[in-house]
Each structure stands twice: as C-alpha cells, then as structure tokens.
Amino acid sequence: MKVSVIGVGLIGGSFALAIKESFPESSIFGIDKSEAHVKEALEIGFIDVAGTMEDLADSDVVIVAVPVDISIKVLKEALDHAGDNTLVIDAGSTKFKLCEAVKDHPKRRNYLSAHPIAGTEFSGPSAAIKDLYKEKTNIVCEVEKTAFKLQERGMEIFRRIGMRIRYMDPESHDRHIAYVSHLSHISSFMLGKTVLEKEKNERDIFDLAGSGFASTVRLAKSSPAMWSPIFQQNKENVLETLNEYIQNLSSFRDLIANDEFGEVYNEMERTNHIKSILNGIS
C-alpha cells in the first residue's frame, strides 16, 4: 500500500507510524512545505521517501494533516492530483468549511472527511506517537459522499490502528468540538496569560504551581500557528461557547463576591456530574 502523508508533524507523523506498524508492507511518502521536517521524518524513520504532489496519482491513500488555514487549498490540490482509486483523508479539527469547499469537486467521492480526537501540546515530526490514535474516537463526516470501496479502505485503516468511529454531520461536529476542544484551549491559553501577567517572578510560578495548574494550563503550550486558524475557521461556534463560558464565570464570581458560598458549593457539586460522563477517558 502506497500512502502519501501531507504534513509530517504530530498528526501526520502519528498516522505514518501507526500505518507502518499495522500495514508492514506499506510505503510512506512524506510531503511538507518544510524541507527540515521532511528530513527529520526520514531520520526518525516514519516516512520512507520524500514525496511530491505528483506521487498522489498512484497512491492508495493520501492523508492531509496540515493547519486548517491552508487545509482547503491543500485538500483541493490533493484531490486534483489524486488518481481515480486514491482515497484522500483529512484530519483537521474543523469540518464544515472544508466539506463545503470541495462539495462540487469532480473527485469529491475520493474524499473522506475525518477528525481523530487525539493530540498533544507538542508539534513537529519529533512529536509523532505510534499509539496516538489507539482507542481514540475518530469523527467521520458525510461518509455517504465517499465512494463505498474507498470508505472500506479508510475504515480498515482506522480499525487496524485501533480507532473508534463516530459519524456526524459537519455542522454538528464544529458546534460540539467548539465546546469540548476549542474552548478548552482558549481557557488554557487565557489562564496562562493571567498568571504570567500577575506573577512577574517566573520562579514563583515554578515553585508554587501544583499538578492542578500544570494540567489545566498544559494546552497553552500548543502551537499558536495551528490554533489561531482553528478559532478563525470556527469563529461563530467559538464565540457562542465563549459567551456561555464568560456568563458562567461572571455568575460564579458574583456568588463569591456576595458570600454565597453555599451556592458556590452547590455549583461545584452539580458540575461533579461530569466525572460520570468522562469516566474512562484518558
């Protein structure tokens, strides 16, 4: 199986590692605008060849794993170069605008829209993890628009690398992901900003920060180059979630200011229900 990976960072690199293990006979071609990233991926060994867009014509599978601000352009180019029997998968965290952009492309049925719910705060080829997708959920959108034989190829790849599949329309995906992913990153970035502005002595942050702070602010180490375009592409849903979040923060602040600590307790106790929802999620 010939696989071309466009974008050899955390997401694309982790797909390459997982595919190499699950499909030992596969050959991985790596494509990236950064020559340094391609060189690093070759040295690490998760790609076999430095590829070009021309390699897509006879690829069995193409994985597009690039920041969302260039994903529409790159996906269209990938479909332009893809062969008639090439499956093109993207792994971006916003789906609606991407699906809309290629809905009339002559090779739309070669495209499978996916979003693996997995990642870390790190980026680049060295961040790739072989088991990143194992037992993780993969959201697949508009599966009915993908040619059936290519659907089967994609699902076999997902199955072998250990992913759970959930089907969703692109609008619902972007709305839900704004709450459970995009808002989390904004909260982490702004918590980090608040602490940095208040605690000018960085040594104090290091000495006093406990595991709770470290885990909450972990996402603030994520790449702004990746996340700023995500917020832009999912702007309407992000604004809706932010408005609700700010309202909840304001209400909680007012409870503390008014010495309503019984209700503070009740608010936290009601929110403890999230433990039962998230039970089993690593």
- Count of CB atoms situated within 10 Å of the CB of 5: 29
| pLDDT tens, position by position, 214-229 | 777 888 888 888 899 9
Please give the single-letter amino acid code of residue 92. G
Angstrom distance (rounded) from CA 73 to CA 71: 6
Domains of the chain and CATH, by start: 2-168 (3.40.50.720), 173-278 (1.10.3660.10)
CA 241 vs. chain centroid, Å, equals 18
Name which of 53, 155, 161, 83 is nearest 112 in CA terms: 155
| pLDDT tens, position by position, 174-209 | 999 999 889 999 999 998 888 887 766 666 666 666
| pLDDT tens, position by position, 43-63 | 999 999 999 999 999 999 999
Angstrom distance (rounded) from CA 228 to CA 249: 23
β-sheet with 87-90: strand ranges across: 49-50, 27-31, 2-6, 61-64, 87-90, 111-116, 137-141, 164-168
* pTM, full prediction: 0.83
